[in-house]
Structure formats: C-alpha cells, structure tokens
Amino acid sequence: MTPSRSPASNRISWPVEFYHLDATLDSGQVFRWQPSGNGWTGIVGRRWLQLRVEVNTLHAETVEPVADWNWLRNFLQLDVELMTVLNTFPTEAPMQAAIDACHGLRLLRQDPWECLASFILSSTKQIVQIRQIITLLCERCGEPVFTPPGFPAAYAFPTPDRLAQLSEADLRACKMGFRAPYLLQAARAVAEGRINLAQLRGLSVDDARIELLRLAGVGRKIADCVLLFAYGFPEAFPVDVWIMKGLKQLYFPNRRVKPRKLQEFAQTHFGPHSGYAQQYLFHYLRNHWKPS
DNA sequence: TACCAGGAGAGCG
DNA sequence: CGCTCTCATGGT
C-alpha cells in the first residue's frame, strides 16, 4: 500500500503502470474534466484538482493541503492491476483492436449521485452537449470551490438536497429539456430518503439495478452506467447506440439480433470484467470506427 | 437543412 | 410483447 497518509501537502505523486489519463477522462464516463497544460483539471467531491501523468508517475495537485489522499486513490482506482483485467478479455480480433486503440484506459469510481444525475442528463445527447448541460447545472446550482490563482471559478456538483428545492423551470433553464423532471424527481427521491444510494453498495448487481430502475428516466442503459462507474459492479454492461451498432456489425454481421440476446451475449462473451471490456469497446467504436 | 445524439416511457396492435 | 412516436436542444 502506497503511503496515503503523510504530512499534509497539496501535491502528491504515485507510481502507475498503463494509466492513460487522456483516454480515461475523455471516454464518456465523466463529463467535467478539462485539458489544462499537459494535464487535466476537474472536481472530485468538493475539491478542485489538477492531474497529469509523466512516464510512470501520476501527479496530483489540489488547492488546499490534504492529509489523507485515499479519496483520490479510490476515484482513480489506483489499486486495480490493469493487465490482470485485460487478460480476462477474449482474444479475438475486435476486442484486441479495442485494447490496442486505447491501452491504459481505466474505469474510475465516481460518486453515485453525481454519476446517476449525469447519466439521467445523458439520454439522447452527444457527449459535448452533456458536458455543456452539466457545466451549466453546476455553475447555477453547485457550491463554489477554491481554485488556484489564475484558474477560472469552479463548482461542486449540486447535491440532491439543493436540487430538490428547485422547480422544473429552474432545471430547464440549464438546457436539459425533457430530462428536467427526471432529474428533479431523482433528486427528491434521494433527498426524501425514498432511495438510499449508499445502501446499494451492499446489494447484488441485480438487486441494485432493480432499485435504480424505480426512478423515472432511468432504464437499463443508464442503470448499468451507474452500476459500473459508481458502484464498480464489474459485470454491468451498458448497451448504448454505439455498442448496439458495433456489436451487431462485429459479432453478428447480416443477422437479426434482439436487444435481449445482445445483452446476454455481451455479458458472457466478454467475461467477468465485461463492464471494463465495454468501456474499451465504446472508446474504440467512438474514435476508430465508422458504422455502416 | 436534415439528421442524430452513451434513452426512456407511453401508446398502440 | 414488439413496434413506433415523442420528448428538448444543439452539434455536425
């Protein structure tokens, strides 16, 4: 275990292997990170920070000193041995191509509420637009956080309690359209304790999914995104339009495959870390593949 | 201009 | 069930 407790400092460095920060922060699992110099800036919880990787070292810098960095190690999932995960993937051509296209891509471990809210806002939106909506939402409704001199103002992701007090019109002003009532209902469900996001950690993936599916505006795809990106269920396999088209063409050319069958195939074919494989496939399809 | 976006839900037959 | 339509908004 790398020492995470040390004299409080606003900087820390960790040794890393195969950590492709660019691919990771720009792969559609998080929406608030921005390129900055040779690294990235973003918010985790209530803290602004800057990240960069040089060779086999990951550097992090916050505004205020930090005594315990475990929150960041957890967000970055530094204890995951990537090669062990990749070695469980099937050794067929498309999967290997996906690995080669973005070797070092990682799954992060996000805050459940931020992840849930973000993906409620993601439906039928391009990633650039999802970023826009979330940026607006945070600027208007989130608590300001400290940033270093010379950097623009930044905001924490708004809490369920804060959003629960707003009106649908307030949210529509953030350009989220028909997703506004969904986000508002989800915020109120969490704020009023009708769903307990922390409690989902102790459930099986199937039971946790059932809980998430109770929320309006949350279907199988969005639920699986939250199960994978926030709770770390390794078998959660979100099937979006890219994955749908890609799997059909790569694995079932010239055949009719029902969505149910495709989900079943994905879960078995890609092994125990099918969710990780999904992220590699998604990144590969989105950046190196044209649907036909 | 037309089309589509890391979907979901309601209304059909 | 399984299909189609709608929802709001902006990028390409």
For position A281, what pLDDT does the model report?
97
For position A254, what pLDDT does the model report?
86
Within 116-155 of chain A, which residues have Cβ less than 7 Å from strand C? 124-126, 128-129, 132
CA A40 – C1' B3 distance (Å)? 33
* % residues pLDDT > 70 (chain A): 98
> Which of helix, strand or coil describes residue A57?
strand
Contacts of residue A110, Cβ cutoff 8 Å, sequence gap at least 6 = A29, A30, A75, A229, A230
For position A65, what pLDDT does the model report?
98
- The region of weakest confidence among A4-18, A188-202, A228-242 is A4-18
Is pLDDT of A24 > 70? Answer: yes
Within 198-257 of chain A, which residues have Cβ less than 7 Å from strand C? none
A237: nt with nearest C1' to CA: B6
CA A177 – C1' C9 distance (Å)? 7
Pairwise CA distance, residues A91 & A251, whole Å: 14
Contacts of residue A126, Cβ cutoff 8 Å, sequence gap at least 6 = none
Given its phi and psi angles, is residue A203 left (phi above 0), alpha (psi -120 to 50 degrees) or beta? beta
- The whole-number average pLDDT for the span A64-90 is 98
- The whole-number average pLDDT for the span A13-38 is 97
- In strand C, which positions have an atom below 7 A from any protein CB? 2, 7-12
> Which of helix, strand or coil describes residue A25?
helix
Given its phi and psi angles, is residue A37 left (phi above 0), alpha (psi -120 to 50 degrees) or beta? left
Within 160-179 of chain A, which residues have Cβ less than 7 Å from strand C? 172, 175-178
Pairwise CA distance, residues A68 & A74, whole Å: 12
Q: Where are the beta strands (DSSP E) in A100-204?
A: 144-145, 154-155
Q: What is the DSSP string of A228-262?
A: HHTS--TT-----HHHHHHHHHHHSTT----HHHH
Q: A233-291 pLDDT, tens per residue?
A: 999 999 999 999 999 999 999 888 998 999 999 999 999 999 999 999 999 999 998 87
For position A290, what pLDDT does the model report?
81
Tokens read off for A62: 């916050």
Contact call for residues A144 and A154 (beta carbons, < 8 A) = yes
Q: What is the mean pLDDT of chain A?
A: 96
